[in-house]
Amino acid sequence: MIEQIVHGIGYFFSGVGAILIIYGGILAIIAILKKEIRSDQPSYGAIRSRFTGKIIFGLEFFIAADIIETLIAPGQQEILLLGAVVLIRVVLGYFLSRESRDYPERENPVSDNSMR
């Protein structure tokens, strides 16, 4: 009974993480389309930064789901696997947030004069 509840909670957290990433992707696509139609929209760097934030937030939910799933059978192999997965996701989240922060916000690398 408890095992099923914990699995359900783990699936819920995984689902929330996936929904956040999908939601961020949809928002990014809409923002890019709006930018292409009207050039007064936010820069690509700002769009990318918001999308990266959603990915990082989604990864945090995936990490929580993995930790919750490990509560059921905390054997040595499961704990090592959890540690590896959490480490990979934390490193990925760190580099995504760093890239988002350091990414230059360039509107268009090609000048308007060269398009004429």
| pLDDT higher than threshold 90 for residue 23 | yes
Compute the average pLDDT of residues 54-62.
90
3-17 tens-digit pLDDT: 888 889 999 999 999
Higher pLDDT, 77 or 18: 18
| pLDDT higher than threshold 80 for residue 115 | no
Compute the average pLDDT of residues 96-100.
77
What pLDDT score does 105 carry? 52
Domain ranges of the chain: 2-105
Could you tell me the pTM of the whole model?
A: 0.72
Cα–Cα distance, 83 to 88 (Å, whole number): 9
Which DSSP string do the residues of the chain spell out, in sequence order? -HHHHHHHHHHHHHHHHHHHHHHHHHHHHHHHHHHHH-TTSPPHHHHHHHHHHHHHHHHHHHHHHHHHHHTT---HHHHHHHHHHHHHHHHHHHHHHHHHHHS---S-SS-GGGG-
pLDDT confidence of 109, banded at 50, 70, 90? Answer: very low
What pLDDT score does 35 carry? 87
State which amino acid sits at residue 97.
Answer: S
What pLDDT score does 111 carry? 40
